[in-house]
């Protein structure tokens, strides 16, 4: 029986304000046998790629009744990842299978409910994509844009956090639908990416715009039909003034608010009435039944080069805390991935 040490990223304690690297620590367990406990019907995973996602900030706060449990102080961070099955006590998976789903920030994890994992069927694409375009963020962009946004050709689409794991896909889906799409991001480099790499019609750096209402009026003289909301706060306030009648706001995230002790107030909500807006929040895990349909759509698009995906990849579990903290100040360019092992 092989024995291993299991390196882990431990969540130290609940966080106030912006998370810091020091809110996590790296530990290595004593040597443990690389096997499932006797009689387990779980699976033992070797983790390959881990995903850094904005929703994880919510898990760093002690909350009750949230849609996802808080992290447990003293235990490893948990989140989405790609992994290889080392040993399986469950009929749906066998040794050597590749999966994506909820796992731990460590080299090896035992998953006691393997039915929550997705077995990876397509391996002729980068495996790390299953933390992004082929995983939770991909499904998020798909559901939020197509199912809530209900886009029609020629409509005007605005995407915030547009170069992120979700936003870059929303923009490309919008172009494939024949929409006019403008994105916003927080650096010059990202703005360039939006225009040159992802095919957004226009893009701007919100940090350089003193009057977001005026900026939006410049980019959308006819107004916005679909706003894909990733940031909340002042951007939402300005967007509300620029929505068109019967517009849709697909509310995916509000990252600008996650590190505040109290949310900012948002004005201009009366636009919801005047413009008959639909504002719809969603949690993608409610809609995983659509995953096969999404994969069927997106795999050919990737293979034919009709859609691209940019990742910001760091190597090693020891780089994970910095990578996770970085997404809350927009340090990542594209989907933030941590490589634990490549196979």
Minimum distance from CB of 65 to a copy of itself (Å)? 9
124 within 8 A of 307, measured Cβ to Cβ: no
| Cβ distance to a copy of itself smaller for residue 121 or 261 | 261
337 within 8 A of 50, measured Cβ to Cβ: yes
Q: DSSP strand E in 131-196: where?
A: 156-159, 180-185
| Cβ distance to a copy of itself smaller for residue 179 or 284 | 284
Minimum distance from CB of 142 to a copy of itself (Å)? 16
Segment (H or E) for 195: helix 188-196
Measuring CA to CA, which residue among 225, 249, 221 is closest to residue 235? 249
Segment (H or E) for 45: strand 43-51
The DSSP secondary-structure symbol of 116 reads: G
Count the alpha carbons within 13 Å of 117 in the hemisphere toward its beta carbon. Answer: 31
| Cβ distance to a copy of itself smaller for residue 231 or 302 | 231
Q: Does 66 bind a copy of itself (CB under 8 A)?
A: yes
| Cβ distance to a copy of itself smaller for residue 54 or 114 | 54
For 339, the token pair is: 């490589």
Q: With CB under 8 A as the contact rule, which of the stretches 9-17, 20-28, 280-288, 331-339 interacts with a copy of itself?
A: 280-288
Minimum distance from CB of 276 to a copy of itself (Å)? 5
Q: Which residues inside 5-64 make contact with a copy of itself, applying CB under 8 A?
A: 58
Task: Provide the sign of the torsion angle of the four alpha carbons 103, 108, 112, 114, taken in this order.
Answer: positive
Choose, by CB under 8 A, the member of 83, 110, 236, 340 that binds a copy of itself.
236
Measuring CA to CA, which residue among 333, 320, 327, 343 is closest to residue 104? 320
Minimum distance from CB of 165 to a copy of itself (Å)? 16
Minimum distance from CB of 123 to a copy of itself (Å)? 33
> How far from the centroid of its chain's Cα atoms is residue 227's Cα?
17
Choose, by CB under 8 A, the member of 14, 102, 282, 288 that binds a copy of itself.
282
| Cβ distance to a copy of itself smaller for residue 4 or 68 | 68
Choose, by CB under 8 A, the member of 119, 122, 280, 322 that binds a copy of itself.
280
| Cβ distance to a copy of itself smaller for residue 240 or 320 | 240
How far separated are the first and last CA of the chain, in Å rounded? 20
Residue 293 CB partners (closer than 8 Å, separation 6+) = none
Residue 1 CB partners (closer than 8 Å, separation 6+) = 33, 34, 35
Q: How far apart are CA 276 and CA 248, in angstroms?
A: 9
Minimum distance from CB of 160 to a copy of itself (Å)? 14
> How many residues line the site for a copy of itself (CB under 8 A)?
35
Q: Which residues inside 240-279 make contact with a copy of itself, applying CB under 8 A?
A: 245, 251-254, 257, 262-279
| Cβ distance to a copy of itself smaller for residue 17 or 96 | 17
| Cβ distance to a copy of itself smaller for residue 275 or 335 | 275
Residue-by-residue DSSP string for 252-264: ---GGGTT-SSPP
Choose, by CB under 8 A, the member of 283, 293, 306, 315 that binds a copy of itself.
283
CA dihedral 138, 143, 146, 148 (to 10 degrees): -140
Minimum distance from CB of 253 to a copy of itself (Å)? 7
| Cβ distance to a copy of itself smaller for residue 67 or 315 | 67
Q: Which residues inside 71-130 make contact with a copy of itself, applying CB under 8 A?
A: none
Q: Is 223 exposed, middle or buried (0-12, 13-18, 19+ CB in 10 A)?
A: middle
Minimum distance from CB of 246 to a copy of itself (Å)? 9
Binding residues for a copy of itself, rule: CB under 8 A, are 58, 66-67, 232, 236-237, 245, 251-254, 257, 262-283, 286
């Amino acid at each position: 029986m092989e024995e291993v040490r299991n390196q882990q990223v431990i969540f130290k304690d609940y966080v106030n304000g912006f998370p810091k690297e020091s809110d996590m620590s790296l530990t290595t367990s004593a040597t443990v046998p690389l096997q499932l406990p006797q009689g387990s019907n779980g699976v033992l995973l070797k983790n390959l790629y881990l995903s850094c996602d904005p929703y994880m900030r919510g898990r760093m706060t002690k909350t009750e009744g949230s849609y996802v449990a808080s992290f447990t102080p003293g235990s490893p961070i948990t989140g989405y990842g790609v992994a290889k099955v080392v040993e399986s006590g469950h009929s749906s998976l066998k040794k050597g299978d590749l999966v994506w789903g909820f796992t731990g920030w460590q080299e090896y994890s035992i998953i006691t409910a393997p039915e929550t994992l997705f077995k990876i069927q397509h391996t002729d694409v980068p495996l790390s994509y299953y933390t992004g375009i082929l995983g939770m963020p991909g499904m998020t962009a798909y559901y939020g844009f197509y199912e809530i946004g209900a886009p029609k050709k020629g409509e005007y689409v605005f995407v915030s956090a547009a170069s992120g794991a979700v936003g870059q896909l929303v923009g490309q889906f919008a172009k494939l639908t024949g929409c006019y799409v403008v994105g916003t991001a927080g650096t010059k480099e990202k703005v360039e990416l939006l225009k040159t790499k992802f095919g957004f019609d226009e893009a701007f750096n919100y940090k350089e715009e003193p009057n977001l209402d005026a900026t939006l009026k410049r980019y959308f003289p006819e107004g916005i039909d679909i706003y894909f909301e990733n940031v909340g706060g002042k951007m939402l306030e300005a967007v509300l003034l620029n929505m068109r009648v019967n517009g849709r706001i697909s509310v995916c995230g509000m990252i600008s608010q996650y590190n505040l002790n109290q949310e900012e107030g948002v004005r201009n909500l009366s636009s919801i009435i005047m413009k008959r807006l639909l504002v719809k929040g969603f949690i993608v895990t409610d809609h995983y039944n659509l995953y096969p349909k999404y994969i069927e759509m997106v795999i050919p698009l990737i293979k034919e080069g009709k859609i691209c995906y940019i990742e910001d990849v760091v190597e090693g579990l020891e780089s994970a805390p910095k990578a996770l903290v970085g997404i809350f100040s927009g340090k990542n360019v594209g989907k933030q991935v941590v490589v634990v092992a490549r196979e």
